[in-house]
Amino acid sequence: MKSTSNLAALMLGIAAAFAGTTIAKAGTVDHAAPDGPTDLRLTPQQSMLWKYTARCALRADQELEAPVGSTGEKLKFKGLLGLAPEWREGQCDGACQEKVSSCLAALTNQTGDHVQVSMLSAAPSLATMSANDNDLAYPFQEGAFFGNVFSGEAYVCRGRDAEKGEQLKRFCALAPGLCSGLAKFSGAGPCEQSCEMSCTPLSDGTSRCAAVSCRDPKGRVWNHPITTYMRNRIEAGNADTVTGAVSRDSGLERVKDGAQATYRHVDFGHVPGSIATVIANVSAPAGGGRIEVWLDGQRRLAVLAVRSTGGVARDLTAPLDSRDLSGQHDVVLRFKGLRADVRVADIGLR
Amino acid sequence: MKTQTKMVATKLATIGLALAALAAPARAGQLLPNGLNSVNGLNSVNGLNSVNGLSTVNGLNSVNGLISVNGLNSVNGLNSVNGLNSVNGLSTVNGLNSVNGLNSVNGLNSVNGLNSVNGLSTVNGLSTVNGLNSVNGLNAINGLCRPNTLCASNSVTTFIGIWTASGIDPSKPLATAIATRK
């Protein structure tokens, strides 16, 4: 089950509510639009809480509608995952609260960046979240989230690929304390030790392992955990620094000739030279020019020729020279000779 | 031990700092600069036990084995700190490259340009962090408020208050709660 995480925006909002200040940082604050409009009756932060609660609890055919606000705008919050659809018209019991809590915690992201994740569960109560071949593009196990945020508790165990979160800007499994906001986030140790795991084989020979149940540091058992897997693609819009382009949740937009984007902590794996290809999902109305991939801004690793994609998104690939390279490095994309503005949705190394 | 004390004292003397500290000779293996105003151009400090009332440190390259720092106002251009146990009342840190093995930081107001932190257990009362590149092994940050992250206290009642303020109540249907939202 795929979703996009950026609940830090929600937590940002909470900060604003408490501090009485305005939060303004491009690309990190989700103003609950377009599928969660704001209203004077609800602060943007509270709207976001409603938006994500509805998204987790309700089915796609359900929604919530608030009274018309002073602007005449109708507030609607659409469902998506359907983990507790009964809450729309009834109470949310303990199991309901834990399922929604796991979802909200899994969608929390300290940076506020939008990151696509796959949300899986092997818990009997969350059977709709089992792995299948739609998860092939999500190979990295981040961790499992559980707790009850309505009573202030959130836990995350550390998955085997949690360190990949750095290049994707997902940090809650790496540093749980940074994600407190909805509730107090606490680490529960490695998932293999704190959770009972169940693995599902996929058609490519890999498997996805999700938690059946987990123990918090006090030894209490939680029966509705959600395990997240991450893509092997970096959201282009989450660049650490950008010049000559606009960072959006959808990617790097209006990329002009001469633009540059830096991505920190890009993981080249444990074995030197194991990365052979760079992939960029690009929309280009006209061909011409190139995207150069530089290591730490000092060594050119690859050159992607920009061909016309007719304005639709397509993967461009090129060989990448990763001799002697392993571990995390800063990668810089340099756009040269472009004839028209392009859009880059994501980039990947394999 | 005697030799070591002499060596440290000599370094301090060369940068014109010793004054009060040298007037009252330190015991072997200990140097306790209290009420020191500023340190400039010092390259390294090893085996220093505590610093109290120091106002600013500029250009210090590394600090090893320092146990505690209290009342320090600002640190600029410090490259690395290893084995420091606790820092209290430090106001700002600029350009610090890495911190290893620091156990706790209390009352620090802002950190700018810090590249990495390893093994830090807890941070309390930190107001802003800019340009931090990576944090590993950090257990908890309490009271951190910065533009692109959360700002919430460590209090459970505060977390519950978030839900109360939003109108989302597990004991009430969502449809009812949103419709009666005021």
> Structural domain boundaries of chain B?
35-151, 154-182
Share of chain A above pLDDT 90, in %: 64
Give the model's confidence band at A221: pLDDT under 50 very low, under 70 low, under 90 confident, else very high: very high
| Residue B20 sits at the chain A interface (C-beta within 8 Å) | no
| Residue A183 sits at the chain B interface (C-beta within 8 Å) | yes
Range of the domain at A291: 234-349
CA–CA gap between residue B7 and residue A226 (Å, rounded): 58
Q: Which two tokens stand for residue B22?
A: 């040298």
| Residue B6 sits at the chain A interface (C-beta within 8 Å) | no
CA–CA gap between residue A80 and residue A89 (Å, rounded): 16
Q: Which residues of B touch A81 (CB under 8 A)?
A: none
Residue at a domain's end among A203, A230, A257: A230
Residue at a domain's end among A230, A262, A281: A230
State whether A254 and A193 are in the same domain. Answer: no
Give how many domains chain A has, as a whole number.
2
Q: Which residues of B touch A15 (CB under 8 A)?
A: 145, 149-152
State whether A171 and A246 are in the same domain. Answer: no
Backbone angles phi, psi at A74, to 5 degrees: -90, 135
ipTM: 0.79
A142: Cα separation from own chain's centroid? 11
Question: Between residues 230 and 259 of chain A, which touch chain B (CB distance below 8 Å)?
Answer: none
State whether A77 and A170 are in the same domain. Answer: yes
Backbone angles phi, psi at A248, to 5 degrees: -130, 165
Is residue A51 predicted with pLDDT exceeding 60? yes
Is residue A68 predicted with pLDDT exceeding 80? no
State whether A119 and A177 are in the same domain. Answer: yes
Which residue from A minimizes the CA distance to B168? Answer: A50
The 3-state secondary structure of B37-68, one letter per residue: CEEECCCEEECCCEEECCCEEECCCEEECCCE
Q: Which residues of A touch B157 (CB under 8 A)?
A: 152
Minimum-distance CB partner of A19 among B134, B145, B182: B145
| Residue A77 sits at the chain B interface (C-beta within 8 Å) | yes
Based on its alpha-carbon atoms, the radius of gyration of chain B, rounded to whole angstroms, reads 22
> How big is the CA angle at B66 (ends B21 and B49), to the nearest 5 degrees?
45
Residue at a domain's end among A193, A214, A230: A230
pTM: 0.68
Is residue B58 predicted with pLDDT exceeding 50? yes
State whether A217 and A322 are in the same domain. Answer: no
State whether A247 and A162 are in the same domain. Answer: no
Give the model's confidence band at A299: pLDDT under 50 very low, under 70 low, under 90 confident, else very high: very high
Q: Which residues of B touch A184 (CB under 8 A)?
A: 154, 156, 159
State whether A202 and A343 are in the same domain. Answer: no
**Contact between A335 and A342 (Cβ < 8 Å):** yes
What Å distances lie between residue B12 and A162, B20, B41, B79, B114, CA to CA?
A: 46, 11, 10, 19, 27
Q: Are the Cβ atoms of A25 and B173 closer than 8 angstroms?
A: no
State whether A126 and A261 are in the same domain. Answer: no
pLDDT greater at residue A210 or residue A265: A210
Helix (H) or strand (E) holding B176: helix B174-179
Q: Which two tokens stand for residue A163?
A: 């360190």
State whether A77 and A197 are in the same domain. Answer: yes
- Nearest residue to A209 (alpha-carbon basis) of A224, A227, A222, A223: A227
State whether A238 and A225 are in the same domain. Answer: no
pLDDT at A71: 65
Is residue A277 predicted with pLDDT exceeding 90? yes
Based on its alpha-carbon atoms, the radius of gyration of chain A, rounded to whole angstroms, reads 21
Q: How far is A22 from chain B (nearest CA, A)?
A: 9
CA–CA gap between residue B39 and residue A207 (Å, rounded): 57
